[in-house]
Amino acid sequence: MGRGQTELAEVFAAMVGDRVDDERVDLTRAALMIARTEYPKLDAEPHVAEIERLAERVRARITDPGEAEQIIPALNVVLFDEEGFRGNEADYYDPRNSFLNDVLERRRGIPITLSLVYMEVARRVGFPLLGVGMPGHFLVKHYDAEDREVLIDPYDQGRVLTVRDCQRRLDGIYRGELPLEPGMLSSISRRQMLTRMLTNLKAAYLAARNFRKALPIVDLLLAIYPRSPEDVKQRALLRQSLGQVRGAVDDLETFLKMSPEASDADEIRGLALSLRRRMALMN
């Protein structure tokens, strides 16, 4: 791991590690730290200020801060009607859709990043929202004064959804083969939301076989969940692909300590032995 990459993972771990209460995780700044994997010199503060400015404009439209019926339309007018935030349907898998700075500058994103913008603007006007990790399509929700949940789709310009709407969305993604279950609309933690963002990015890079860019994403996943055996193993394989033999061996051995009974443990032991022999020839 390069020096800059190591520092980034360390700073990110300090922001999102288990010593930080989940509700105190700063989603905006953590998401901008993820963007630094692509833009190492990115200054977060102008983008934080942009979200503050958006919140000020929403606040100016609200006369009763406790009324969802007033706040949701105010959010939607500012973000979608005036500012033109949209889902990037033309290039959905573009990694820029996962970088918050790009989303703010281009006004284009995917469900989870548009949800993050929506949540963070709403939080600043006193309207708490939670992320909803529905399969294939991220949403947000609010609990009103009577503890009724209000589901909102920032990818669909802040449309308020019914449960039936959610099933229709799943039908469109999974061709009617995935029935909606109550747990699919449960709220998720901030760490889980950041993990999903990172997982999306990792999948995009792996699909393009861009292992160099996938590696720092796995480093950030491990900054959130350092005891994740699968991420440790994946980092080992990425390091091997990039010729980082010593780091790959370290990760393979760590994986075996974490999961000595894994179904592929013998294969991993064999790979670790092979890489150790290669290291010996290099010395």
Q: What is the pLDDT of residue 2?
A: 65
Cβ 102 vs Cβ 110: under 8 Å: no
Residue type, 236: A
Give me the pLDDT at residue 146, please.
Answer: 84
Predicted pLDDT of residue 179: 96
Q: Which amino acid is it at 69?
A: E
| Beta carbons within 8 Å of 41's beta carbon, 6+ residues apart | none
pLDDT tens by residue, 74-87:
999 999 999 999 99
**So what's the pLDDT on residue 260?**
95
Any idea where the domains of the chain sit in the sequence? 3-126, 229-283
pLDDT in tens, 186-207: 999 999 999 999 999 999 999 9
Give the pLDDT band (50/70/90) at residue 283: low
Q: What percent of the chain has pLDDT over 70?
A: 99
